[in-house]
Amino acid sequence: MGKTEISILRPAEIESESFRIIEEELRQKGRKIPEDHKHVLLRVIHTTADFEYLDTMAFSEDVLAAAEDALRRGAHIVTDTTMAMAGINKRRLAQFGGEVHCFIADPDVAEAAGEAGTTRSAAAVHKAVRFSRENGIPLIFAVGNAPTALLALEEEIGEGYRPELVIAVPVGFVNVVEAKERIMEAGAPYICSRGRKGGSNVAAAIVNAILYHMK
């Protein structure tokens, strides 16, 4: 029995071929990706090999154009995990004057969480909002792990803070579905994966899709 045949492709060709395969498989199923969300959905499906995101990913009105505008104005990105932070293309983001932050491991965040009896993810969100207000820097939040981060954002939004975008894609079983639904009702622009699925890789993929789409 011979070895399984492997295609020899360059990295850029692998991505292009993957996108082609995704669209072809959807075409065979009688499905088509909406053009206005295509660059995000293709990259998320490519990252996860999960076609269910075509049905579960929700976008607030005109959110992608607003996100690109915010990034051109120098918006920074705050993640809830170092994994998501590592996956974001920082060189591309820096071209627009932005930076990526993850406050989860900061000593003052751990101290604040202990004093408040909450999670470090929630305390990190409150620190990020203070950072935004004190420095006049608009923020995009990319949440791929902690529903408590979304609940802390909901609280901050209720008190008058407005993030440029909330990427709400935490994965899990406890309060994940509920936190996503609540952040979509909070009034801020969002991209959200309804249901239990998501993850830090999905959060980073969405950020990169937006960055790569910008001229």
Confirm whether 42 is domain-assigned.
no
Spatial separation of the C-alpha atoms in residues 123 and 129, rounded to whole Å: 10
Q: Answer whether 83's CB lies under 8 Å from 201's CB.
A: yes
* Cα distance from N-terminal residue to C-terminal residue, the chain: 49
Place of tokens 């999960």: 50
In sequence order, which residues have a C-beta less than 8 Å from that of residue 1 and are 6 or more positions away?
none
Confirm whether 7 is domain-assigned.
no
Confirm whether 138 is domain-assigned.
yes
Per-residue pLDDT at 1: 57
Q: What is the CATH number of the domain that holds 106?
A: 3.40.50.10230
Q: Answer whether 197's CB lies under 8 Å from 53's CB.
A: yes
Confirm whether 28 is domain-assigned.
no
Confirm whether 41 is domain-assigned.
no
Spatial separation of the C-alpha atoms in residues 54 and 131, rounded to whole Å: 35
The amino acid occupying position 155 is: E
Q: Strand, coil or helix: what is 100?
A: strand
Confirm whether 153 is domain-assigned.
yes
Spatial separation of the C-alpha atoms in residues 50 and 194, rounded to whole Å: 14
Burial of residue 80 (number of CB atoms within 10 Å: 0-12, 13-18, 19+): buried
The pTM of this model reads 0.94
Per-residue pLDDT at 65: 97
pLDDT per residue of the chain (215 residues) written in tens, 0 to 9: 567 665 666 777 888 999 999 999 999 999 999 999 999 999 999 999 999 999 999 999 999 999 999 999 999 999 999 999 999 999 999 999 999 999 999 999 999 999 999 999 999 999 999 999 999 999 999 999 999 999 999 999 999 999 999 999 999 999 999 999 999 999 999 999 999 999 999 999 999 999 999 98
Q: How far is CA 175 from the centre of its chain?
A: 18
Which are the catalytic amino acids? 46
For the chain, where are the alpha helices, taking DSSP H only?
11-28, 38-48, 53-56, 63-72, 82-87, 90-94, 107-116, 120-135, 147-158, 176-184, 200-213
Q: Answer whether 60's CB lies under 8 Å from 118's CB.
A: no
Q: Which structural domain range is residue 98 located in?
A: 54-213
Q: How many domains are there within the chain?
A: 1
The amino acid occupying position 11 is: P
Confirm whether 5 is domain-assigned.
no
Confirm whether 145 is domain-assigned.
yes
Per-residue pLDDT at 9: 65
